[in-house]
């Protein structure tokens, strides 16, 4: 089973050799590597270009168009039955693809296969990701971008949605795969390394950009959100009650306050135009307030 590793790159040439080496070191040998230069303003070094040529790694150059379009361009050219996106500054453990293929072979309905992960770079340690759960993923993404999926499924959902121009394109894409009723499986091994940088794309999102991304998620998956509107509204209502409860325990309160921005962003997005369910939320607020924990 052939696997295509697709690596978009925008000016991260200094990290790319490590990502490439991790891809070249896979124990599953039927792989191809495609690098997509997403209109970088800096050129790769001559030695890096030579490495690409010597190792038979394809390089596609496109005008700067964002991660969704760059991934789609690479996947369109891919020959593999399975696709593994890899950011240019991240890395794979040698057996990641081999173990992912085993999961697909044993599960005909598998749609997304990923694994445990760890940080490296400016921060190290285990990446404590909650287990995948639906419908929780409607509110937050627990699956990193470097998961393995079928190219046929990518075709069926129309690829990565280019209207996710600021980010969260992987979250949006996973929701599309979920809509196909595919099974999501997490390998309980640390097979992926995510580079933590002091400055990253996700840290630079403005409040308005986050609101726009939430709005796009719901617009792209309106039926999925509508079918689970009571869960979403009730969950946000519960969080609001706990945040506003001044007698909550300090540690819990601190954790919940970190979610305040996310809730406000959801409130400001087009998602909250679904006001026909607001009576349900008000009832949930009353019930939650009556049962909110109080200090003795």
**List of residues 6+ apart from 89 with CB closer than 8 A:** 12, 15, 16, 19, 121, 195, 197
- Tokens standing for 8? 């978009």
Question: In Å, what is the CA distance from 146 to each residue of 6, 86, 106, 194?
Answer: 10, 5, 20, 9
| SS3 of residue 216 by DSSP | helix
Q: How confident is the model over 273-288, as pLDDT tens digits?
A: 554 454 555 555 555 5
**d(Cα 51, Cα 40) in Å, to the nearest integer?**
18
Q: How confident is the model over 102-138, as pLDDT tens digits?
A: 999 999 999 999 999 999 999 999 999 999 999 999 9
Q: Block means of pLDDT (10 residues each) for the chain, length 296 residues?
A: 97 97 97 98 96 97 96 98 98 98 97 98 94 92 96 98 90 97 97 87 73 89 91 78 59 56 57 52 55 48
- Tokens standing for 90? 């991240």
Q: What is the pLDDT of residue 296?
A: 40
Q: What is the pLDDT of residue 181?
A: 96
The closest of 176, 177, 161 to 213, measured between CA atoms, is: 161
Exposed / middle / buried, residue 209 (Cβ in 10 Å: 0-12, 13-18, 19+): middle
Q: What is the pLDDT of residue 211?
A: 83
For the chain, the helix, strand and coil percentages under 3-state DSSP, each to the nearest 5 = 45, 20, 35
The closest of 280, 249, 255 to 288, measured between CA atoms, is: 280
The closest of 7, 29, 195 to 97, measured between CA atoms, is: 29
CATH class of segment(s) 3-196: alpha beta
Query: In which residue ranges of the chain is CATH 3.90.550.10 found?
Result: 3-196
**d(Cα 233, Cα 228) in Å, to the nearest integer?**
9
The model's pTM is 0.81
């Amino acid at each position: 089973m052939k696997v295509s590793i697709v690596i978009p790159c925008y000016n991260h040439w200094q990290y790319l050799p490590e990502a490439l080496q991790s891809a070249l070191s896979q124990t599953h040998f039927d792989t191809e590597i495609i690098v997509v230069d997403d209109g970088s303003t800096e050129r790769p070094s001559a030695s890096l270009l030579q490495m690409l040529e010597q190792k038979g790694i394809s390089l596609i150059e496109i005008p700067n168009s964002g991660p969704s379009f760059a991934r789609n361009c690479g996947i369109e050219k891919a020959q593999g039955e399975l696709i593994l996106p890899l950011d240019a500054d991240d890395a794979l453990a040698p057996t990641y693809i081999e173990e992912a293929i085993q999961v697909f072979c044993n599960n005909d309905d598998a749609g997304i296969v990923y694994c445990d992960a760890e940080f490296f770079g400016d921060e190290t340690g285990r990446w404590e990701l909650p287990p995948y759960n639906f419908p929780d993923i409607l509110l937050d993404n627990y699956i990193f971008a470097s998961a393995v999926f079928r190219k046929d499924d990518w075709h069926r959902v129309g690829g990565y949605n280019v209207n996710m121009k600021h980010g969260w394109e992987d979250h949006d894409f996973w929701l599309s795969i979920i809509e196909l009723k595919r099974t999501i499986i997490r390998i309980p091994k640390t097979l992926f390394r995510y580079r933590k940088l002091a400055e990253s794309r996700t840290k630079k999102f403005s409040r308005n950009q986050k609101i726009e991304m939430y709005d796009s998620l719901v617009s792209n998956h309106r039926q999925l959100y509508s079918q689970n509107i009571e869960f979403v509204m009730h969950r946000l209502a519960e969080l609001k009650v706990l945040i506003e409860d001044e007698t909550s325990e300090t540690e819990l309160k601190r954790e919940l306050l970190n979610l305040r921005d996310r809730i406000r962003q959801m409130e400001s997005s087009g998602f909250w135009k679904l006001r026909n369910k607001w009576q349900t939320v008000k009832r949930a607020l009353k019930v939650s307030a009556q049962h909110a924990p109080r200090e003795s």
